[in-house]
Amino acid sequence: MNGPEIHVEFAPGLALFVPSGRRRGSTALVTDGVSTLGHVVESAGVPLTEVGALWVDGREVPASYVPVAGDSVEVRSVVRPQRVPGAPLRFLLDVHLGTLARRLRLLGVDTAYESTDIGDPALAARSAAEKRVMLSRDRGLLRRRELWAGAYVYSTRPEDQLRDVLERFAPELRPWTRCTACNGLLAEATKEEVADQLEHGTRHTYDVFARCGDCGRAYWKGAHHDQLEAIVERALAEFSGQG
């Protein structure tokens, strides 16, 4: 680009996205004179899903603002907890976030997940059609205009990913109410109703069951229940009072 020069300062929380030379203080950027500020910010590496507000010379402006020479721009991080108006809070996760999807479902958070790579256009279209917040580590996907809403997942560790999403969006937690396999709602079931899914030992050891209303999968307090219970208890202790 060869046009007006502006000065941009990125919030510290956005340092991950910008080149090292632009992470401290204000940096000069040359624009083309016609691109919006949102386009300029994304060209610098920052997805707009991670931007809370844009300020120019002390006033807040929309992403559609076209910067002029000498503008002093402040790019702020998203304010947490982040509110997503216009629809019930629910999520869509891409193929790389399967463990996070299962943990969110374990906590009763409405979470759709694509177990195969259906491509960025299809993911963005589903986000828009179902009004779901797209969670991904793919910055290109998060820049797609057709997204309903989106958020970058900052960590590669499922424990940190879960904590980040819960802290950022403060969803209502209703543990043990969703199927971790398909996201359907669970309902109590009798042993007879799920007998075809039980091994001989399970039939004799357990008496309390639930079944998914969508896929029919049966649930009981099996061998891994203590590990799941620990995930639930940590989440409730840290996040159940926010919002």
**Global pTM value:** 0.91
Task: Quote the CA–CA distance of 205 and 106 in Å, as a whole number.
Answer: 23
- Separation between Cα atoms, residue 137 and residue 48, nearest integer Å: 14
Q: Which two tokens stand for residue 239?
A: 């996040």
110-154 residue pLDDT tens: 999 988 999 999 999 999 999 999 999 999 999 999 999 999 999
Pairwise CA distance, residues 179 & 173, whole Å: 14
For residue 21, what pLDDT is reported?
Answer: 64
Which two tokens mark 40? 């300029």
Helix, strand, coil percentages (3-state) for the chain, rounded to 5, are 35, 20, 45
Both tokens of 211, joined, read 């079944």
Task: Say if CB 114 and CB 101 are below 8 A apart.
Answer: no
pLDDT at position 200 over 80: no
Task: Give dist(CA 90, CA 235) in Å, integer.
Answer: 17
Amino acid at 80: R
What percent of the chain clears pLDDT 90, i.e. is strictly above it?
81
Q: What is the pLDDT of residues 25-34, one digit of tens each?
A: 788 999 999 9
Tens of pLDDT, residue by residue over 174-189, are: 999 999 999 999 999 9
Give the whole-angstrom CA distance, residue 184 versus residue 85: 24
Of 207 and 70, more confident: 70
pLDDT value, residue 23: 61
Backbone angles phi, psi at 163, to 5 degrees: -60, -40
pLDDT tens-digit map of 11-23:
999 999 998 766 6
